[in-house]
Structure 1
């Protein structure tokens, strides 16, 4: 790649990242950021595989409670992908939702947790680790925020939309509610809660980069370049 092309791509990348920081990046342009990053990292067509620099990936999830986020995330973690989970960190710091702290205090207590995990996500991606962020992103603004964090770390986001019918999600929630006092991933919800959350959820549309999850973790693993064999002994994530 000649110097003129490199300079052009670097200038274009700077423009796109500036637009991200200002919140005015057009939908879909984060893919251009990833493609330019790949090119500048020497991932060029025809280049020998051993000469390529691998860009880390981050799986982001857009889904309501009971859609299977944790099941998918744990499957990916078994293959060596680092899993970050705000619900588990909330449980570790504050205890059970609605018991050890009032439901109305959830968002206030969650904010520092998300900030800390955003910093950890950036650190891990810049170190070349693949990540799955086990957290439902309900709005276009949330999804843009986390895609931006990923691309600014020099990584490539994969946004999965996980549409699951209400009755199926409610059956799963009913089964896990009994474990809410001991399992960070089993936050207790009523059916009224789920219906209210569904009214606040804005699914991705065609203009927003995403892939509809087909219910098969192996399809995600293949998209990330992993085989179907779990890692021998994934290291537990350090508690922060």
Structure 2
């Protein structure tokens, strides 16, 4: 099914902590590319500690449902989740299609040393909405993370690979449809 030119866009991210997801999501929101939904920030605004993972997961589900409602209403959404597993990504792609939305996918492929240095700086800054992470936390996340496959990239309308640059998009956008 071909999408209309006015179809909304769901912008998704796949990357580990410190890879640049929040920085890019904020830039995209500021540029008018959609309503940004960031579970970590909502949780901090509500005043629930980031360590409360049960609350985090529940809030993430509620915010995701809201994102789908926005898409169905024709509103572009920038969903700031890490999407570490292939199953999560496939579900998000399928949900977007069911809402008649395009998928723009940002894939962050950043090496461990760069991630850890960024996380150390973020931890030191203690910015509101950011959870402090240890290097052990990062190693755990790296163990859970499933790299994006070419088959997954074929399921989206456009993707950009980011390799650690500091610009809004250090990779070139690729359209798959």
Q: Which interval holds the TM-score relative to the shorter structure?
A: 0.7 to 0.9
Residues in 2 aligned to 1:146 and 1:60: alpha-carbon distance in whole angstroms = 8
TM-score by length of 1: 0.63
Residues in 2 aligned to 1:165 and 1:221: alpha-carbon distance in whole angstroms = 19
Report what 2:95 is aligned to.
Answer: 149
Residues in 1 aligned to 2:94 and 2:171: alpha-carbon distance in whole angstroms = 21
User: Residue 183 in 1 paired to residue 137 in 2?
Assistant: no
Residue 118 (structure 1) aligned to one of 64, 79, 82 = 64
Q: For residues 188 and 141 of structure 1, do their structure 2 counterparts lie closer, same or farther at Cα, with a shift above 3 Å needed? A: same
The structure with the larger Rg is: 1
Q: Deviations over 1:174-223 (max 9, x none)?
A: 1111343x510x21011111111101100111111263424442589987
User: Residue 217 in 1 paired to residue 168 in 2?
Assistant: yes
Q: For residues 218 and 68 of structure 1, do their structure 2 counterparts lie closer, same or farther at Cα, with a shift above 3 Å needed? A: closer
Pairs within 5 Å for 1:196-207:
196-207=140-151
Quick check: which one's helix share is greater? Answer: 1
Q: For residues 112 and 85 of structure 1, do their structure 2 counterparts lie closer, same or farther at Cα, with a shift above 3 Å needed? A: same
Unaligned runs of 5+ residues in structure 1 are 1-35, 42-52, 98-102, 225-240
Report what 2:40 is aligned to.
Answer: 87
Pairs within 5 Å for 1:27-66:
36-38=1-3, 41=4, 53-66=5-18
User: Residue 74 in 1 paired to residue 22 in 2?
Assistant: no
Q: CA RMSD in A?
A: 2.3
Report what 1:208 is aligned to.
Answer: 152
Residues in 1 aligned to 2:171 and 2:37: alpha-carbon distance in whole angstroms = 17
Report what 1:170 is aligned to.
Answer: 116
Q: Deviations over 1:117-142 (max 9, x none)?
A: 12211121122221111110000111
Pairs within 5 Å for 1:93-104:
93-97=46-50, 103=51
TM-score by length of 2: 0.84
Tell me if structure 1 keeps the 8 A contact 2:161–2:172: no
Q: Deviations over 1:88-126 (max 9, x none)?
A: 1121234332xxxxx3x41x2122212211221112112
